[in-house]
Structure 1
Amino acid sequence: MGRIRAYLRRHPKRVLVVAILLILYYFSLPRELFKDPTATVVEGRDGQLLGAKIAEDGQWRFPPPDSIPSKMEACLLQFEDAYFYRHPGFNPISILKALKANISAGRVVRGGSTITQQVIRLSRKKRRSYLEKSLELLLATRLELRTSKKEILKLYATHAPYGGNVVGLDAASWRYFGLRPYQLSWAESATLAVLPNAPSLIYPGKNQEKLLKKRNGLLKKLREKGLIDSTTYTLALLEKLPQKPYPLPTTARHFVAFVAGREEGKRIRVSLDENLQKQAAEVVHRHFLGLRQNQVHNAAALIIDVKTRDIKAYIGNTNTTKEHQKDVDMVRANRSTGSTLKPLLYAAMLDAGELLPTMLVPDVPTQIAGYTPENFNEDYTGAIEARKALSRSLNIPSVRLLQNYGLEKFRDQLNSFHLRGISKSADHYGLTLILGGAETNLWDLCKTYAGMASTVNHYTETSSEYYDREFTELVWKQDKLADIGKKTIHKPIFDAGSIYLTLEAMKEVNRPEGNESWEFFDSAKEIAWKTGTSFGNKDAWAIGLTKDHVVGVWVGNADGEGRPQVSGLQSAAPLMFDLFDLLPRSNWFSQPLDALRETAVCSRSGFLPTTNCPLKMVMAPAMENTLRPCSYHQQIFLDQNGQFRLNSSCATLSRARGVSWFVLPPLMEFYYKRRNPTYRSLPPYREDCRAAAEEIMEFIYPRNGSRISLTKNFDGKLNELALKLAHSKSGSKVFWYLDEKYLGDTADFHELGILPKPGKHKITAVDEEGNEKSITITIE
C-alpha cells in the first residue's frame, strides 16, 4: 500500500491520464446500444404468433427474445464465433488470420470480428475502416465487462440483418419458414445462421447455390464437432431452401392493431386462444361468403370467458376488400344497438319490483308524444307476457315498459355499464333508446352481458354474495386479472334473481331456421341470447351467454348501407350458434334461491292477485314489488244459463251466479283474441238490464291528436286515410261521422277510407247501442 502511495506522489500526471482514460473507457459505451424502433408482436396464450405490426422505420424487427434456441445458438457460434464464451470481446488469433488472408489476396476475403464486435458494428452503423475496427474492438471489451454473454448473443440475434427489411432471428424465422425459432430444424437454423454474413443471398431465386453451399458447409462442421449425428446431417442436407418470404399470421389482424395502439413496439402475450381464434375466423369467413351474396360485406365476432373476462377470440372484420372497409375494426366501432338493450330494461324493472315475468303488457298500435313504434313483423298480439315480449323482441311492449319505468331513470342506469357511444341525455334519445336510437359497440355489449352472467355465478357460488365490480372491463393481456372488486352483500347494479329471470326469458328465444327443435336434443346447448336489428336493416346483432362464455356477433356493412333481409335472427344468430359449437358445453345457471321467491299471481294476467282471479305461483325476485293488483279480472253476474250478464237493475245479485271473467280493453282484445281462440268476450246484458258504462270501442288508427300527411299514388292522386276501430262485440254495426257529417257504416271489420281536406277534423264512431267514441286529427 505504501509503494502505491509513493508512486502516486511521484507520478501524479501519469496517474491522472490513466484515470481519465479509465473514465472515458467506462463511459465509452452508450447506456442503450440500440434505439431502433421495433415491431409490435402479439402472441397468443401459448406463445404462438398471432400477428405483428411493422416497426416505424419499415423494418420487421421484433423485440428481443427471452432466449436463443439451442440449435440456433450452436449454429451461430460454429459459423460466426466458435470461441465466443472464451474470449474477452475480441479474438486475436482470428484477427491475425484475417489480416494474413486479406494481405495475401489483396482484398478483404475474411473477417476476424467476434459476435461481440458485430453487435458494436450493428449499433454504430459506421463505414468500415481500420480506425473503426479499432474502436469496435475497444467497445467490444467494454460491452463484455458490462453485459453477460447470453445478453450479447440476444442483442446479435435481435439486430442482425436477414435480407430485405427483415431484421433479427425472430422475424427471419417467421418470414422465411413460417415458424417460431424454437420450431426450426437443424437445416433451417443453419440457413438463418449464415444469412447475416451475406443477407443478400436470401432473395428468392437469387444466389441459391451460394446459400446452399454455405448452409451445407455449416451442417458439415456441426457433424464434425459432434453436435449432430450422421442421420440428422444426411436428412438436413435434403431439406430445401426457402423460396419466398411467408406472410405473417393475420387471423387476428384487427386485434393486433388494437394492441399496437396501446403497447406499440412491444412483445405482448395476450389472452386469445390461438386454435379458437383460427376456428372462429374460419366460421366467420364461411358465413361471409354467404352474406356477400346479399351485398353484406362486414361482420365481427367476440368470444369471452365469463369467469376471467378473458377475450378468447376476436374477429374484427371479414376478409373483404378495401373498398368495403376491411380494415375497420367492427368490434370497437359504435353502431345502432337495435334491441340489445331490452334485457337490461327487463332486468331493471324486475329489480325495481315493477314487473313480473308472466305479467301481461299491451302490444297494440301505440303513439306516444308523436312517436309511433312498430314491431319488426308489423303485427300485434294485443297483450303478451313480459317474458315472451322479451324473448320475441317485440318493440311496442318494450317502448311502453320504458315509458312506465322512466326514460331518465333507465338512461342513468346505463351509465353503470360504461357503454361507450351512449353519451347523450335521455331527451336526446327519447323512447327510441330501447329500439336502437343509441349507439355502442360489440366489445361493451359483450362486457355487459358477461357481467350479468358473472353476477349470477358469484351469487350462487358464494354465500349469496356479490362482487362490487361485476361489470368490469374485459381482459386482453395474458398476465392480467379481471378487477371484479371485493365481496359485498349489496347488489352491484341488478340483483341475481332479476338477472336470472332475465336469462331464463332469453333462453326461450326461437332459434334461427334449421334449429327450431333444438330444445328436444340432449346435446343442445342451453343459451340465453338476444338479437337486434337496427332501423333500415343496417345492423344485425346476436349476443348469447352461458354460465361460462359470451359470444357476440355483429353483421352489416361498415359504411352503413342497409340491405333487405339483414336481421339479427337471419344474419347474425346462425353465425353466433356456429361459434358456440366451437366451445365446450356449459351447464345452465344455478338458481339463486336466496334471491328468488314463489309469488302468487293471477293465472291469466300475471298481475298481483285480487279476489276475482284464479291463482298460480311464479318465481319472482325476493323483494317488495310496487305493482297494482290485477284489473283484467272482473266479477260479473250471469243468468242461470250463463248466456247473459245481469246487474242490479234487472236482478237480485245475491241470488245470481257470480263468476270471475278475464276482460281486456277493446283495442287489446281486438288483437288478442285473434291469437287466443280460448279468449271469451264479455256476454251481453240481458235485454231487461240497463248496460253499465264501459269501454267497448277504441280507435286503432289514427290515434287521437295525430298529425297526418296524405301521400300520393303513381297517378298523382291522394291516397285515402284508412280509419280502423276495435269493437269488443263481434257483429256490431258502427256508424262513422266526419265533423258531424255521416260517412257510412261498417260491420264485423271496422275499416273505412276517407279523403279529408287539410285542417283539423273530428272523427266520431257510434254503434247500434249508442256507444260513442271520438278523436281529433290534423291533416297537413
Structure 2
Amino acid sequence: MKKGLHATQYWARLTLGILSVLIASLWLADQLWPLPLPDDGLARVVLAEDGEPLYRFADGQGIWRYPATPDTVSPYYLDALLAYEDRWFYQHPGINPAALARAAWLNLSSGRVVSGGSTLSMQVARLLDPHPRTLAGKLRQLFRTAQLEWHLSKRQILTLYLNRAPFGGTLEGVAAASWTYLGKSPVNLTRAEAALLAVLPQAPSRLRPDRFPERAQAARDKVLARLDSEAVWPSKAVKEAMEEPVWLAPRQSPDQAPLLARRLNTPGEAPAIHTTIDIALQRRLESLLLDWRVRLPERTSAAILVVEAKTMAVKAYLGSVDITDDRRFGHVDMVSAIRSPGSTLKPFLYAQALDAGLIHSESLLQDVPRRFGDYRPGNFSSGFSGPVSASEALHRSLNLPAVQLLEAYGSKRFSGELRGAGVPLFYPHGAEPNLSLILGGVGARLEDLVSGYSAFAREGKVARLRFRPEDPLTERRLLSPGAAWIVRRMLADRADPLLDESQLPPALAYKTGTSYGFRDAWSIGLTPSYVIGVWIGRPDGTPVAGQFGLASAAPLLFQVNDILLNRDGQRGRLSPIQTRPASVGVESICWPGGQPLPANDENCRVRRWAFTMDKQTPPTMQAPDQPLGQGLDETYWVNGAGKQVAPACSGARPVRFLAWPASLEPWLAARERRTSRLPSIDSNCAPNVGTTASPLQITGLRDGARLQAPAGQSDPVSITVTAQGGGGARWWFVNGEPVAEQSEQLSYTFSKPGAYEISVLDDSGQTEHVHVTVVR
C-alpha cells in the first residue's frame, strides 16, 4: 500500500517537475525569441474623407496595406473566412487537433498534400515568422502560434490576419485587395465578393482574379458550396452569389493628392492617415489641371487649394500640375512654397484701414506718381488715374493708392497684425517691413493667403486650414465683421451701397496678383461656401513674360468656382446668406473732402454713396510728401463783391474752401482746378497769394538723376515732367532758356550729353528746379 502511494507521489512530482520545466522553458524561449509583431514602418495609406484611398506608401519590400479591423469589413467576409479557414477559431487554443488529424488522414490517404490543417492563428504565425516546410519549421510555427494565443486576444489575432494575408502581387490585407480588385471598401462586400476574397490567400498568385478569373471563380464557388453545406448562409443566397461573374473594377493605384500625402506622411504617423479631401473633387480638379498643362508656358507649374469656409476643411489640394513631370518641377509643393504675393495683400490693408477709421469705401485716394527715397512704385498698366475711390482702387488693384494707405497705416503695424492672426510674411534676413510689401516685396505662402482670406467669409476671423478630421478649428480675429463684409463686396465688384445684393446670386469675390518680373501669378477668391487659391509660375523662380494674375490665374480660378457651383447645385446645397453687419452704414459723402455736406454746398464737387463703419466718415487723407499748401480744408476771405481780399480788409468774411489734393491737379477738369474755383482777387486789398497757392513742385523726374538712352539705342534722351501746385500759368526753362509757357507739362529732348537745370515759374512767382545729367 505504502509502495503504491509512494509511486503515485513520485509520478505526480515528476509530472509537476516536467510541467514546471516545460513552462519555464517556454517562458525562457518567449523571452529569448519574442513574438515578432509587425512594424509597418513606412507602409501607410492616406485616405479621403469617405475612407477611399488617396495615396499609398509601400513598406521596404514594396508591399501596400490598408489597415482593417473586424469592424471595418463586411460580416459576409468574416462568415466566409471563418467557415472556410477555421470554423472553431474562437474555441481552440490556436491549434485544432481534430483539424490536424483530419488533414494528416487526407494527406496520407491521397498520397499528397491536399490539406494543411492550419488554423488562422497558425497562418498568422507563419505570416509573422516565415519558415521552411520541414519538421523544424512546423515546430517553430507551433511555438509562434502558442505565443500568439498567449499574448494576444482572438480579435487581435484576427486583425493581424485581416492586415497581413497575401492577396497577390504587392497587396497584403483584405482592405487593400478590396480597393484594388473591386474598387470598394471591404465593409460593402457582397456575398460573392466576400467568398472570393476569403479564398485568395490560399494561393494568391495562382488565383489572382485579374490574371486568372476562371480559377478565381472556381475557388470562390468552392467556398460558397462550403457555406451552403454548413448552412452558414441560406441556400437561395448562395445560389444567387454563384450566378455572379467575377467582376473587377478598373485597376487604379491610389495616386490623388500626392504632395499632400507626402506632407502628412511624417515619422510616427498611424498606418491610416485620414484627411478632409473630397476625392471626387480632387480627381476633377487634377483632370482640369492636366488639361491646363498645354496652356502653360514651358517649365511652368500651378497649384490649387480649395477650402470649405465654414469648417476650414481642405477639400482639394493640388501642389503642382503633375508630380511626375520633372520638366515642370512637379515634385515641388507650391501650396507651401514661399513666393512673392504680388497684390494679394491689398484687401487686408483696406479692411484694416476701415477698422482704423482712415477710410470708408468711397474715400478719395490719389493714384499719382510718388517717390519714397529711392523707391518709386508704379502701376501695372504704367499709367495713373488721378482721383480714385478706395473701392475702385482695390477693385482695379492700383498700386499708388495702396502705398498711400500703407504709409498712413504703418508697415510694421500691418505686418505684425497679419502675423498675429496667423498670416505670416517672410522677409530677407535682416530686412524689416516697408512700403514695398503691399506690392509683393515680401514672401508669403498660398496656404497662408487662403487661410487669411477666410476672414472675409468668416466675419473677420482668420482660421487655420484643417487637413484632417481631428484637426481643431482654431481662429483669430484680424478684422471686424463690418470691415470684412465691406471688402468682400469690393472684391466682388458690388461696392455700390444702393445695390441690393440679396436680390442677386452669390458672387465670387476675388483678388489677383502678379509678382515683380512676372514670376508669380495669383488669384484668390471666396464665396460664402469656399475659399479658393490659385498660383501659376515657375518653381525655380525664373520669370515668364506676359504672365500675370488676371490673364493667367484668374481664368483657372473661375473654372474651379464653376465646378464647385455646379457640384453644390447638383447636391441641392445652397450658399449661406451673409447679411450686412449692424456696424455697416450707408452715407452720402462728397469729394474732395470725403465727408457729408448739404446738397447745395459749393464744396460738394462730386457726390458718392459710401459704406461706412460705425457711422464714421473720415476726411480725405493727405500724403506728407506732396504739395499741400495749407491743407485740403482751407479758408479765404471775400468782400461784398465776392472777390478775394486780405482778412483785414473792410467787410471781409471767411469762406470755407475744400481743395482737391494738389497732386491731382493734372487729372482734374479745368473747372475743378484751384485757380478756376477760387474767385478773382480784389487789387485794392489783395490777399497774400501764399495763403491760397500750394507749393510748386516738379514731378516725373528726380533731382540729381542720371539719364541715359536704353542699351543698344542711339536715340536722343527725352523726358516729360509735370508742374504740380502753384497757381496760374507756368513758364518752363532749361539752363535758363525759356522752352515753353502756359503749360502744366513739359516734354523735352536733350540734344547732347551734359548737366541740365530744368526750372518752372508760376504766376505767383514761385519757382522750382531739378538738376539732371544726360550721359551717352
Structure 1 counterpart of 2:525, which letter?
A: G
SS at match of 2:277: coil
Aligned residue runs from structure 1 range 422-433, under 5 A? 422-424=426-428, 427-428=431-432, 430-433=434-437
Aligned residue runs from structure 1 range 250-649, under 5 A? 250-261=255-266, 264-286=269-291, 288-289=292-293, 291-292=295-296, 294-295=297-298, 297-319=300-322, 321-420=325-424, 422-424=426-428, 427-428=431-432, 430-456=434-460, 470-484=461-475, 492-508=477-493, 524-581=505-562, 582=564, 583=568, 584-593=573-582, 595=583, 602-606=590-594, 613-614=603-604, 619-622=611-614, 631-632=631-632, 634=634, 646-648=643-645
Q: Is the 8 A contact 2:298 2:328 kept in 1?
A: no
Per-residue deviation, residues 720-743 of structure 1 (Å, max 9, x unmatched): 13132246899x875432332x16
State yes or no: 1:669 paired with 2:665.
yes
Q: Is the 8 A contact 2:49 2:279 kept in 1?
A: yes
How far 1:499 moved relative to its partner?
A: 3.2
Q: What is the match of residue 489 of structure 1?
A: none
State yes or no: 1:76 paired with 2:77.
no
Per-residue deviation, residues 480-501 of structure 1 (Å, max 9, x unmatched): 331348xxxxxx4443333333
State yes or no: 1:35 paired with 2:16.
no
Decide which moves more: 339-348 or 131-140. 131-140
The change in CA–CA distance for 1:758 and 1:398 in structure 2 (over 3 A counts) is farther
Structure 2 counterpart of 1:41, which letter?
A: V
Structure 2 counterpart of 1:592, which letter?
A: P
SS at match of 2:260: helix
Q: Is the 8 A contact 1:186 1:236 kept in 2?
A: no
Out of 734, 741, 747, the residue aligned to residue 738 of structure 1 is 734
How far 1:124 moved relative to its partner?
A: 0.8
Per-residue deviation, residues 545-591 of structure 1 (Å, max 9, x unmatched): 34443222222233334334432223323333333341544345333
Distance 2:115 2:488 in 1: 74
Out of 720, 725, 730, the residue aligned to residue 723 of structure 1 is 720
The change in CA–CA distance for 1:681 and 1:521 in structure 2 (over 3 A counts) is farther
The change in CA–CA distance for 1:580 and 1:128 in structure 2 (over 3 A counts) is same
SS at match of 2:337: coil
Distance 1:90 1:211 in 2: 28
Name structure 2 gaps, 5 residues minimum. 1-5, 623-630
The change in CA–CA distance for 1:354 and 1:756 in structure 2 (over 3 A counts) is farther
The change in CA–CA distance for 1:648 and 1:89 in structure 2 (over 3 A counts) is same
SS at match of 1:20: helix
Structure 2 counterpart of 1:114, which letter?
A: T
SS at match of 2:761: strand
Name structure 1 gaps, 5 residues minimum. 457-469, 486-491, 511-517
Q: What is the match of residue 750 of structure 1?
A: 745
Q: Is the 8 A contact 2:195 2:224 kept in 1?
A: yes
How far 1:626 moved relative to its partner?
A: 8.5
Distance 2:530 2:710 in 1: 52
Q: What is the match of residue 245 of structure 2?
A: 239
Distance 2:603 2:679 in 1: 21
The change in CA–CA distance for 1:149 and 1:185 in structure 2 (over 3 A counts) is same
Structure 2 counterpart of 1:507, which letter?
A: A
Structure 2 counterpart of 1:569, which letter?
A: L
Q: Is the 8 A contact 2:424 2:444 kept in 1?
A: yes
Q: Is the 8 A contact 2:365 2:621 kept in 1?
A: no
Distance 2:372 2:25 in 1: 88
The change in CA–CA distance for 1:325 and 1:296 in structure 2 (over 3 A counts) is closer
Structure 1 counterpart of 2:389, which letter?
A: E
The change in CA–CA distance for 1:103 and 1:325 in structure 2 (over 3 A counts) is same
Q: What is the match of residue 126 of structure 2?
A: 121
The change in CA–CA distance for 1:769 and 1:636 in structure 2 (over 3 A counts) is closer
SS at match of 2:517: coil
Q: What is the match of residue 625 of structure 2?
A: none
The change in CA–CA distance for 1:391 and 1:696 in structure 2 (over 3 A counts) is same
Structure 2 counterpart of 1:332, which letter?
A: S
Distance 1:698 1:428 in 2: 31
Q: Is the 8 A contact 1:356 1:607 kept in 2?
A: no
- What TM-score, normalized by structure 2, do the two folds share? 0.83
How far 1:311 moved relative to its partner?
A: 1.7
How far 1:58 moved relative to its partner?
A: 1.8
Q: Is the 8 A contact 1:453 1:545 kept in 2?
A: yes
Q: Is the 8 A contact 1:29 1:143 kept in 2?
A: no
Distance 2:273 2:313 in 1: 15
Aligned residues: 738
Distance 2:185 2:124 in 1: 23
SS at match of 1:737: strand
Aligned residue runs from structure 1 range 60-75, under 5 A? 60-65=64-69, 66-75=71-80
Q: Is the 8 A contact 1:38 1:61 kept in 2?
A: no
Aligned residue runs from structure 1 range 4-23, under 5 A? 13-14=17-18, 16-21=20-25, 23=27
The change in CA–CA distance for 1:757 and 1:719 in structure 2 (over 3 A counts) is closer
Distance 1:14 1:234 in 2: 56
The change in CA–CA distance for 1:133 and 1:650 in structure 2 (over 3 A counts) is closer
Q: What is the match of residue 515 of structure 1?
A: none
Q: What is the match of residue 162 of structure 1?
A: 167
Q: Is the 8 A contact 2:455 2:479 kept in 1?
A: no
SS at match of 2:484: helix
How far 1:118 moved relative to its partner?
A: 0.5
Distance 2:500 2:538 in 1: 33
Percent identity over paired residues: 29
How far 1:115 moved relative to its partner?
A: 1.3
Distance 2:657 2:152 in 1: 91
Structure 2 counterpart of 1:647, which letter?
A: Q
Aligned residue runs from structure 1 range 182-261, under 5 A? 182-201=187-206, 207-226=212-231, 227=233, 229-230=235-236, 233=239, 236-240=242-246, 242=248, 246-261=251-266
How far 1:93 moved relative to its partner?
A: 2.9
SS at match of 2:206: helix
Q: Is the 8 A contact 1:45 1:269 kept in 2?
A: yes
State yes or no: 1:53 paired with 2:57.
yes
Structure 1 counterpart of 2:520, which letter?
A: D
How far 1:358 moved relative to its partner?
A: 2.5
Q: Is the 8 A contact 2:455 2:478 kept in 1?
A: no
The change in CA–CA distance for 1:756 and 1:364 in structure 2 (over 3 A counts) is farther
Structure 2 counterpart of 1:40, which letter?
A: R
How far 1:239 moved relative to its partner?
A: 1.8
Distance 1:474 1:154 in 2: 34
Structure 1 counterpart of 2:331, which letter?
A: D
Q: Is the 8 A contact 1:29 1:139 kept in 2?
A: no
Distance 1:206 1:46 in 2: 29
Structure 1 counterpart of 2:746, which letter?
A: E
Distance 2:752 2:662 in 1: 29
Structure 2 counterpart of 1:198, which letter?
A: A
Structure 1 counterpart of 2:184, which letter?
A: L
Distance 2:275 2:88 in 1: 39
The change in CA–CA distance for 1:655 and 1:587 in structure 2 (over 3 A counts) is farther
- What TM-score, normalized by structure 1, do the two folds share? 0.82
How far 1:618 moved relative to its partner?
A: 5.0
The change in CA–CA distance for 1:757 and 1:263 in structure 2 (over 3 A counts) is farther
C-alpha RMSD over aligned residues: 4.1
How far 1:207 moved relative to its partner?
A: 4.9
Q: Is the 8 A contact 1:59 1:166 kept in 2?
A: yes
Distance 1:601 1:187 in 2: 75
Distance 1:283 1:613 in 2: 55
